[in-house]
Structure 1
Amino acid sequence: MKQLIMLILIMLLAVFIFLDLHFKHNKSRAYQNDERWQLITIKAAKVMAIFLDSIVILLALAMTYFLLTDGGSEMMTISDAVSDAFYIYALKYPVEYCAYRYYDQVL
């Protein structure tokens, strides 16, 4: 069951990667890299920076909690840790795609 969920998540992330790249390519060609498109990319980059900073802060809080309490009684395998880190980092593609779509409509 866990492998099926991981496969679905990887396929969903692949779809968002494709959508993100396709959207950015089409819009940069349509706007011909004008000031509006540059403003959209700057705003989307700010959203991405906030998202990645939020992940770092949450991980730092979790590490602090586990260091100060006896929360380390259950061990996690390296494979699980790498998988979780991959999924957390890969969330940047749906966030980036949504930010581009939002700022393209708003601006």
Structure 2
Amino acid sequence: MFSQTVMLVLVIALGIGLFGNVFYQLGKSIKYKNDERWQLIQIKANKVIYWYQGLITTVLAIILVVDLFNPFQVSLSVSNVVLGAFMLLFLQYTVELISLMYLDKSL
């Protein structure tokens, strides 16, 4: 029951991040009329996403290597692994939204 509640909260937070990102970008694009400053902010936010994806890939590779040389076996269900991958994939929209908001205020 507890894990289902945590997953529900995470899915809601990820949905808010996804739709917040879309509406934030749309609103700011209209407000700034897609000028050079806004394009620079989007480029920098995309760099943050590339770093995030690289970090996730590196962490997963380390986990796979550690699991390869681990003397004991850890069994995970496929549904939990897919759900975790889903959460990490959609978390990038929340990271992008936060970076867009930060860069918009700082530049």
Q: TM-score, normalised by structure 1?
A: 0.94
Which amino acid counterpart does residue 35 of structure 1 have in structure 2? Answer: E
Query: Paired residues, what number?
Result: 106
Which amino acid counterpart does residue 84 of structure 2 have in structure 1? Answer: D
CA distance in 1 between partners of 2:75 and 2:97 (Å):
35
State the match for 2:95 in structure 1: 95
Aligned positions of 1:4-83 closer than 5 A: 4-71=5-72, 73-83=73-83
- How many percent of aligned residue pairs carry the same amino acid? 35
Cα distance, 1:13 vs structure 2? 0.9
Which amino acid counterpart does residue 53 of structure 1 have in structure 2? Answer: G
Tell me the SS of whatever aligns to 1:91. Answer: helix
Cα distance, 1:19 vs structure 2? 1.1
Give the superposed CA RMSD. Answer: 0.9
Structure 1 consecutive aligned stretches of length 4 or more whose deviation exceeds 4 Å: none
Which amino acid counterpart does residue 59 of structure 2 have in structure 1? Answer: L
CA distance in 2 between partners of 1:13 and 1:69 (Å):
33
Q: TM-score, normalised by structure 2?
A: 0.94
Tell me the SS of whatever aligns to 2:34. Answer: coil
Deviations 1:71-94 (A, max 9, x none): 5x1210110110111111111011
